[in-house]
Structure 1
Amino acid sequence: MAKIADAKVVTTDVFEMGGIPWKSLNLETSAPSSPPTTLLIFTPTVPAAYTVIVFYHGFFIPPSYYTQLLAHIASHGFIVVAPQLFRNGLPMFGSDEIKYAGKVVDWLVTGLQPLLPENVEAKLKKVVLSGHSKGGKTAFSMALGYAKTTLKFSALIIGIDPVGRLSMCKATESPPQILTGVPRSLNLKVPVAVIGTGLGPEKANIFFPPCAPDGANHVEFFNESKPPKANFVAADYGHMDMLDDVTPGIFGTVLAKCSCKNGKGPRKLMRETVGGLAVAFLRAQLDGDYKDFDAILDNPGIAPARLDDVEYIPA
């Protein structure tokens, strides 16, 4: 396992809620700023300039199901913009999804700043891409240039159990088909962090296939990425365990809890782990502050959820 620095740091506060006050905004397409799709925004309220993270949700999962996770990240000093990539109540696929994902990024240039609290500035020179499940593949696709945007991307946090297709069969992958099966084949020019789950490749029952099948899950995304790249696996948790404790609606009460194998521990520990890993990775890659990231690499046991396959490969 590669290390970034020689200093041994054994503690970190990234797994706890940060001390920066924040608020959330629900923005509809009919709003004065005319976003291309419905947005859920988390922003600090303390005057300062903050990095912007665009977060893409998983299949059939509304952004509101990630409220506790995204709030955790925002409380450490980040603006999070979570678009809802649905049309007529159904998730978008392929070129439509990528097109709207790109439109959201371009909307940031003029649409985001007027919505923020007084003296809170959105830093748009380097925008971060992130996503869960199918949204992880969307973030990768964006970074690979499948949507032309005016903003540059700086780092990826695709951990949140990225999924490229429904099975090992390449025919099940909707466009763009980005997974090749070849190590380091993804032509990414940004640092990558992949946070997978140990139970994602397992079936919850006989009625549903695995939500993060072998050959198309976090393992493949990490292997096909080029350094610098980081890998973490929450061994005892499943594909949906980073969602809120309460996820209303048919999908939230039935499918999200029955279609994927879930861990037996509290979801709170999984959310804290994912949020903390995201914050530590971003501080290291964007600000050159490796204290928290090194602490986790040196002692993965400080994370609330048990981590396996902890690895960092520098450039």
Structure 2
Amino acid sequence: MAQQDDDQTYLPISLFEPGNKGAITIHVKKKKKSQVPAQLLLVAPQAEGTYPVLLFCHGYCTENSWYSHFLEHISSHGYIVVAPQFYQCLLVSLNNEVQTAAEVADWLSTGLATSLPKNVKPDLSKLALMGHSRGGKTAFALALGHAPTALKFKALLALDPVSGPKPPTWVEPNILSYVPHSFNLSIPIGIIGTGLSSQAKGVIPPLAPNGFNHAEFFNESRPPCCYFLAKDYGHCDILNDSKAALASLVCKSGKDSKQKMRRGAGGIVVAFLKAYLGGETNALQSIIDITANAPITLDPIIHITV
């Protein structure tokens, strides 16, 4: 439960634990005559209400279901999460993924409400965008307008986003310019990086090398923007336990509990969304001010407001 310290500073311990709304997962299949642009994983609160919506883009060669525990944590605090499944071909164009994400965003206004339980309603005036790894780049590319959408995003989050050097056609668009604050975005941006993602795993190169990872994405973000580094964790430690263990064969992984990573990152995401979709800033500010309150070590934390 939330506590008060001697200075009456709010400590959002509850954000790092499952919320009181519950969470239910719904699989929406893409059929030949269906208007659904892609197979979807919907994660919605069980409690009756109207909730903000978060569009989530998964990472390279992963599946949306591999993030279910992380997304359930977020949803249980009062958010509807929509996670499309992109193609699994190794050389699929990133432009295709951005276009699919845009089509899903447009589908939200016509198809989301009918795909949810009757007592759960989406508030599309509070729509946020998030992605992990290559999906983080997909989220940025979509927010930057590389595929048009009818709805407007009010906030953008990225979990260990990664781009690539001078990309070939299949990983375009190239959105990094190496110019500080160059992203042409006026919405709040939150970035969660991992300290081990830039390290090689034996002879396997890092999945998020320096110069193309979370640090550069934050460098090019405009205020208001937040940066949190989970220094003791790796690139895929946000996944469900079994998938994180599988990914550890090809990338560095933290030694501590992956559940702590999901709880820590999930709490940050909820605090960010509360601040920038709901105007409730106490939770985010207290995470920034009182880092020991988080279940994982966050170092550094940077919050630029102007």
- TM-score where L is the length of structure 1: 0.91
Task: Identify unmatched segments of 5+ residues in structure 2.
Answer: 1-6
The one of 223, 230, 235 aligned to 2:231: 235
Distance change >3 Å, CA 147–CA 300, structure 1 → 2: same
State the SS of the aligned residue for 1:163.
Answer: coil
Report the alpha carbon displacement of residue 172 of structure 1 after superposing the two structures with TM.
Answer: 5.5
Report the alpha carbon displacement of residue 126 of structure 1 after superposing the two structures with TM.
Answer: 3.1
Query: For residues 31-180 of structure 1, what are the structure 2 equivalents within 5 Å?
Result: 34-86=35-87, 89-90=89-90, 92-158=92-158, 160-165=159-164, 169-171=165-167, 174-180=171-177
Query: For residues 171-250 of structure 1, what are the structure 2 equivalents within 5 Å?
Result: 171=167, 174-206=171-203, 208-247=204-243
Task: Say whether residues 1:258 and 2:249 are aligned partners.
Answer: yes
Q: State the alpha-carbon separation in 2 of the partners of residues 311 and 67 from structure 1.
A: 28
Give the letter aligned to residue 118 of structure 1: K
State the SS of the aligned residue for 2:123.
Answer: strand
Q: Which digits, 9 at most, give the CA deviation of each residue in 1:64-123, with x for residues without a partner?
A: 110100000000000000001115x55732321111111110111111100111231101
Which 10-residue stretch deviates more, 28-37 or 135-144? 28-37
Q: Is this contact kept in 2: 1:25–1:41, CA < 8 A?
A: yes
State the SS of the aligned residue for 1:280.
Answer: helix
State the SS of the aligned residue for 2:178.
Answer: coil
Distance change >3 Å, CA 60–CA 303, structure 1 → 2: same
Report the alpha carbon displacement of residue 164 of structure 1 after superposing the two structures with TM.
Answer: 1.1
Which 10-residue stretch deviates more, 55-64 or 291-300? 291-300
Q: State the alpha-carbon separation in 2 of the partners of residues 279 and 103 from structure 1.
A: 25
| Bigger relative CO (Cα 8 Å, ≥ 6 apart) | 1
Which 10-residue stretch deviates more, 89-98 or 61-70? 89-98
Distance change >3 Å, CA 91–CA 126, structure 1 → 2: farther
Q: State the alpha-carbon separation in 1 of the partners of residues 90 and 124 from structure 2.
A: 30
Task: Identify unmatched segments of 5+ residues in structure 1.
Answer: 1-5
Counterpart of 2:4?
none
Q: Is this contact kept in 2: 1:203–1:210, CA < 8 A?
A: yes
State the SS of the aligned residue for 2:288.
Answer: helix
Q: Which digits, 9 at most, give the CA deviation of each residue in 1:148-179, with x for residues without a partner?
A: 11100000111x100011xxx32468211100
Q: Is this contact kept in 2: 1:126–1:151, CA < 8 A?
A: no
Counterpart of 1:278?
269
Report % sequence identity.
Answer: 43
Q: Which runs of 4+ in 1 moved over 4 A?
A: none
Q: Is this contact kept in 1: 2:41–2:65, CA < 8 A?
A: yes
CA RMSD of aligned residues (A): 1.8
- TM-score where L is the length of structure 2: 0.93
Counterpart of 2:3?
none
Q: State the alpha-carbon separation in 1 of the partners of residues 98 and 202 from structure 2.
A: 32
Q: State the alpha-carbon separation in 1 of the partners of residues 33 and 19 from structure 2.
A: 31
